[in-house]
Amino acid sequence: MRILTINSGSSSIKVGLYEMGEKERLVLSGSIQRIGIKAGIFQISDSNKKTIIDKHIDIPDHDTALKLLFNWLKQYDPGSNLDAVAHRVVHGGKKYSTPQRITPAVLSDLKQIIHLAPDHLPHEIKAIQATSYYYPDMIQVACFDTAFHRQMPQLAKIVALPRHYQHSGVIRYGFHGLSYEYILQELRKEAGDEVADGRIIIAHLGNGASMAAIRHGKSMDTTMGFTPAGGLVMSTRSGDLDPGILVYLIEEQGLRPSALNELINHQAGLLGVSGISSDMRDLLDKEDSEIHAREAVELFCYQASKHLGALAAVLGGVETLVFSAGIGENSSVIRQRICQNLAFLGIHVDPERNSANASIISPEKATVSVRVMKTDEDLMMARHTNTLIKGE
Ligand code: ADP
C-alpha cells in the first residue's frame, strides 16, 4: 500500500510517501517552505536522502504550493500508484476520537469547527480539497492531533467555567496525539506490554511542546488544553497564563483579539523571554553571555519540571519517562536540567548515557526508566491510514 502523508502548516507543507508492506519504507519526503513569504523552497528527496528536486521560487499562497506539489507528483508517478492520502488535522473537535475516512460529511464537520483552530484548519481543509481536485477518487484519511486525548477522564477535560461554555466546546482537548501514539507503539515493541501499559509520561519537546500522562495505553491528562498555546513554555507560545493577564492586556493595554493571538502564539515563550531567539540551540549557545537567554532556558526547564511533577501526581507515580522531539531527542543539557529536582519521584539521569543520547539514560537499577525516543508523526499517519483501509 502506498500512502502519501500531508502535513499542512501556516507557511509550510510537509509530505512523505510511504510504502506500507511487510516493512514500512519512506520512499520520498519533502517540503514546500516559506509559503506567502518571499524566496520559497520546494524540496523532495528519496529514501537515501538524495535530492530529487530543489527549487527556489516565490510561492504566494497554499493553492500555488499544492498545485506545485501535485503537478510534480503526477509527473513523477504518472501511473498514480498512490492508494491513499493521509492528512494531519490539528483538531477533530468533540466528535472524532479516531482517524476518519474523509467524506463530504467529515469535511463539513471540519468546516464547522474552524473556530477551534483558525490558524491551522483552513490550510488543512485546503489540502484535502486540492487532493480531491487532483486525484478525484483517492481515499483520504484525516488523522487528528486531538484524537488520542478524547478518552481522557472527564475531570482532565472540563474547565472551571459555567456549564454552557462546556456545551459550546470550551473544554481541554490536548494535542500532539499522533506523536504520543507513535512513541507508545514503539515503546511496546522495544520494552514490551508491561512497560507500555504502565505509568508513562511522554515529553514531546519541539517548537511546540507538551507532555502527556499515560496509563494502560490511554491519555489520562496532558499539558495543552483548549488550544496548543497552553501548558509548557514553547518556542513562541506562552504556555499557561493567569487568565487575569489576558483581561489586563485587553482592558488596560488595549490589545485587540488579533494582537493578543499574535502575542501569545508568536511573540511569547522562549522568543519573548529571551528577546533573542525562539530556537533552543541559539539560546543554549548564548546563555553564558546573555542573561535573558539564560533565563528563558531556565524558565523552560523549570516549567517543564513543574508540569512533570503534576502529571506524576495524576498517575500516582511514574515508571517510564520518555523525551522526544527536537529538544527532547537532542539536548542532554535540557533533559538533565528538567530532571535534576525530580529524584523524589525516582527520576535519575546517568550523565554518560545522557550525553551519548542513549536510548535509556537512567542508571542501570533506577526505578524510573528514562528514555530518549525519536518521534515520527507522519509514519503514525501512514500506519493509521493503512490500518483503516485494511479494516474496511
Ligand atoms: P517542530 O515542533 O517544529 O517539529 P522540532 O521537533 O524540530 O520542532 O524541534 C525544534 C527545536 O529543537 C528547536 O528549538 C531546536 O533548537 C531544538 N533542537 C534541535 N536540536 C537541538 C540540540 N542539539 N540541542 C538543543 N536543541 C535542539
Residue listed under C-alpha cell 510534480: 72
Rounded to whole angstroms, the Cα distance separating 292 from 286 reads 9
Rounded to whole angstroms, the Cα distance separating 84 from 72 reads 17
Secondary structure percentages of the chain, helix, strand, coil, to 5: 45, 20, 35
Shortest-distance Cα residue to atom 19 of ligand 1: 326
Rounded to whole angstroms, the Cα distance separating 179 from 333 reads 22
What is the structure's pLDDT at 378?
A: 97
Cβ atoms within 10 Å of 43's Cβ, excluding its own = 15
Q: Give the distance, in angstroms, between the CA of residue 13 and the centroid of all CA atoms in the same chain.
A: 14
What is the structure's pLDDT at 153?
A: 98
Which ligand 1 atom is the nearest neighbour of the CA of 375?
A: 6
Q: Which one of 77, 119, 137, 145 is the catalytic residue? A: 145
Q: Which cell numbers hold the place of 340?
A: 535534576
Q: 154-157: long-range contacts at Cβ-Cβ below 8 A with a sequence spacing of 24 or more?
A: 156/220, 156/221, 156/222, 156/314
Tell how far the Cα of 325 is from the centroid of ligand 1, in angstroms: 7
Q: How many CA atoms lie within 13 A of 188 on its CB side?
A: 12
Angle at alpha carbon of residue 303, lines to 302 and 305, rounded to 5° = 65
Which ligand 1 atom is the nearest neighbour of the CA of 278?
A: 14
Are the CB atoms for 203 and 338 separated by under 8 Å? Answer: yes
Are the CB atoms for 83 and 139 separated by under 8 Å? Answer: yes
Closest CA to 361 of 329, 391, 385: 329
Residue pLDDT tens, the chain, 392 long: 999 999 998 889 999 999 998 899 999 999 999 998 888 999 999 989 999 999 999 999 999 999 999 999 888 876 668 999 999 999 999 999 999 999 999 999 999 999 999 889 999 999 999 999 999 999 999 999 999 999 999 999 999 999 999 998 999 999 999 999 999 999 999 999 999 999 999 999 999 999 999 999 999 999 999 999 999 999 999 999 999 999 999 999 999 999 999 999 999 999 999 999 999 999 999 999 999 999 999 999 999 999 999 999 999 999 999 999 999 999 999 999 999 999 999 999 999 999 999 999 999 999 999 999 999 999 999 999 999 999 88
In sequence order, which ranges of the chain are alpha helices (DSSP H)? 62-76, 104-112, 121-134, 154-157, 163-167, 177-191, 193-196, 243-251, 257-262, 269-274, 280-286, 291-315, 325-330, 332-339, 351-355, 377-391
Shortest-distance Cα residue to atom 12 of ligand 1: 326
Rounded to whole angstroms, the Cα distance separating 81 from 124 reads 23
What is the structure's pLDDT at 100?
A: 97
Rounded to whole angstroms, the Cα distance separating 29 from 42 reads 11
Angle at alpha carbon of residue 203, lines to 198 and 209, rounded to 5° = 150
Residues with CB under 6 A from ligand 1: 206-208, 235, 279-281, 284, 325-327, 330-331
Q: Where are the domains of the chain?
A: 2-144, 191-372
Rounded to whole angstroms, the Cα distance separating 180 from 200 reads 11
CATH number of 191-372, picked from 3.20.20.140, 3.50.50.60, 3.30.70.3190, 3.30.420.40: 3.30.420.40
Q: Among 11, 182, 281, 335, which residue has the most ligand 1 atoms within 8 Å of its CB, making it the best to mutate?
A: 281
The pTM is what? 0.96
Cβ atoms within 10 Å of 75's Cβ, excluding its own = 8
In sequence order, which ranges of 214-256 are alpha helices (DSSP H)? 243-251
In CATH terms, the fold of domain 2-144 is: Nucleotidyltransferase; domain 5 (3.30.420)
Cβ atoms within 10 Å of 65's Cβ, excluding its own = 27
Using DSSP's 3-state secondary structure scheme, residue 147 falls into helix
Closest CA to 346 of 373, 372, 319: 319
- Classify the phi-psi angles of 357: left when phi > 0, otherwise alpha if psi is within -120 to 50, otherwise beta: left
Shortest-distance Cα residue to atom 4 of ligand 1: 206
Q: Among 145, 330, 337, which residue has the most ligand 1 atoms within 8 Å of its CB, making it the best to mutate?
A: 330
Tell how far the Cα of 270 is from the centroid of ligand 1, in angstroms: 12
Known catalytic residue at 145: yes
